[in-house]
């Protein structure tokens, strides 16, 4: 079988196992019945760290989702909201002007970079 439920051999997916995987085979579950299994190899972990020489794993098709540019954008937006929430919470807890501190740090970094290029 080359495709099932919009996912085909060669697609990058998320699955039951953490990370991102490439589909290498799609076939009915060997234990009988008609549930479809996706067989895949791990490409990278959930943080994007590359993974080499992964063994072939499989899971039921219900646990698999095709990775697309839209899904990556949604993951990015969700992660950005989480980071912003953590930052806002910590700023409130610390009662400091973190934006001013970051701005000052960036200014110092730019000044250091400029002076290293000039001298």
Q: Which helix (H) or strand (E) holds 113?
A: helix 98-118
pLDDT, tens digit, 9 for 90 and up, residues 10-64? 999 999 999 999 999 999 887 767 689 999 999 998 888 998 887 999 999 999 9
Higher pLDDT, 22 or 107: 22
Spell out the domain ranges in the chain: 3-66, 69-118
pTM of the full structure: 0.66
89 sits in which H/E element: helix 69-94
- What's the CATH fold of domain 3-66? SH3 type barrels. (2.30.30)
Percent of the chain residues topping a pLDDT of 90: 49
- Of the listed ranges 30-34, 74-78, 103-107, the one predicted with least confidence: 30-34
Q: Which residues are bridge partners to 26 per DSSP?
A: 38
pLDDT at 10: 95
According to DSSP, the residues that pair with 109 across neighbouring strands are none
Tokens describing residue 58: 């499989």
């Amino acid at each position: 079988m080359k495709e099932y439920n919009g996912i085909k051999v060669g697609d990058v997916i998320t699955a039951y196992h953490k990370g991102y995987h490439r589909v290498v085979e799609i076939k009915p579950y060997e234990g009988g019945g008609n549930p479809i299994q996706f067989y895949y190899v791990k490409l990278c972990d959930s943080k994007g760290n590359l993974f080499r020489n992964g063994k072939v794993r499989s899971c039921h098709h219900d646990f698999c989702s095709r990775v697309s540019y839209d899904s990556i954008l949604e993951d990015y937006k969700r992660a950005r909201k989480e980071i912003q929430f953590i930052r806002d919470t910590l700023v409130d807890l610390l009662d400091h002007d973190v934006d001013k501190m970051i701005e000052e740090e960036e200014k110092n970094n730019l000044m250091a970079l400029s002076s290293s290029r000039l001298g």
